[in-house]
Amino acid sequence: MKKTNQLVSAPSQEVANALAQGFPQDLGFTRINLPRLAMVSQDKTSGRGKSMVVEQEAGTFLKEYQTEELGDNGKPLWAKDEIGSEIEGTIVFQRRQLKYYDSATEKFTSSTIYDSNDDIVVLFCDKAEIARGTAVELKANYEYTDPKDNKVKSRLEDNKVLYILYSGELYQMTLRGTSMYACKTYLKVNPTVFLTKFSSEPKGKEPVYWNQMTFTNVRSLNNKEAILVLEKQNELRQGIVDEKAYFAGQQSSPAMPTKDEVDTFLKAVE
């Protein structure tokens, strides 16, 4: 083929935009990877009998965050710092998640974080997708009859995920069991306009004791604090939109223009 030095004009911006739209892109989104807040629900002990030592008391709050140190898998390692038996912060947002730990196989099953019973939830085990459906549909697949009360229950537990503004930074906190139900009661009054104190109280009876989280309204937010909460809410909403679009896109390929649409476009830009 004869070579030529003839200059070729670049495509118009309209054509370039159309080319870009017609080229399938890798679907992806930037997950909001937040540090976490957690509470030790039962005493962490070592040793037995008279030599038993309480290493971490029930009711102790922890701050968990990624470090710059990498693990064997090449991902950042997480560190935990104790931050006391009481903390204060503002509940910015709430979502839901399903979780289940199989003690026989020592494997965790958990879902994507979701918002309503109509959402399509993705279920993972060992980092592999194993099912999709609404929360109700997925929980039905894990139903069993509890011999203690002869009631039908699901091994997939409901968890509440709170997003909390603590010390000027946004954190994620996951609640289950009695702490989750105590929180549901507190959330009936809009918590986003208050500073909340997170503490705990002992529950249970011999031989099982634990600490249940408590939530107390400390004071109303000032205008500057309220504006910051609004900003964080908007960041979370955009992240949720991106995440849902990503998982929805995995179900089908991006729509490509038909031949007639291409022909029509080419005639228009000739």
Count CB-CB contacts under 10 A for residue 156: 22
Question: Is 262 among the domain residues?
Answer: no
Contacts with 187 (C-beta within 8 Å, 6 or more apart), sequence order:
91, 94
Cα gap 149→223, rounded to integer Å:
50
Answer whether 0.85 is exceeded by the pTM.
Answer: no
Question: Is 48 among the domain residues?
Answer: no
Question: Is 265 among the domain residues?
Answer: no
Tell me the pLDDT of the chain (270 aa) as tens digits: 555 455 445 555 565 555 445 544 444 444 567 999 999 998 787 777 777 777 789 999 999 999 988 888 888 889 999 999 999 999 999 999 999 999 889 899 999 999 999 999 999 998 899 999 999 999 999 999 999 899 999 999 999 999 999 999 999 999 999 999 999 999 988 899 999 999 999 998 878 889 999 999 999 999 999 999 999 999 898 888 888 887 776 554 444 445 555 555 555 544
Question: Is 226 among the domain residues?
Answer: yes
Cα gap 166→63, rounded to integer Å:
10
Cα gap 107→122, rounded to integer Å:
17
Cis, peptide link before residue 254, omega less than 30° from 0: no
Cα gap 250→268, rounded to integer Å:
33
Q: What angle do CA 242, 248, 254 make, to 5 degrees?
A: 95
- Of the candidates 241, 255, 266, the one whose C-alpha atom is nearest the C-alpha of residue 119 is 241
Cα gap 69→40, rounded to integer Å:
25
Question: Is 106 among the domain residues?
Answer: yes
Expressed as residue numbers, the domain containing 130 is 36-41+53-252
Q: Count of domains in the chain? A: 1
Give the 3-state secondary structure of 107-123.
Answer: EEEEECCECCCCCCEEE
CA torsion, ordered 189, 190, 195, 197, to nearest 10 deg: 40
For residue 50, report the phi and psi dihedrals to the nearest 5 degrees: -70, -20
Question: Is 267 among the domain residues?
Answer: no
Question: Is 21 among the domain residues?
Answer: no
For residue 216, report the phi and psi dihedrals to the nearest 5 degrees: -130, 135
Amino acid found at 165:
L
CB 78 within 8 A of CB 89: no
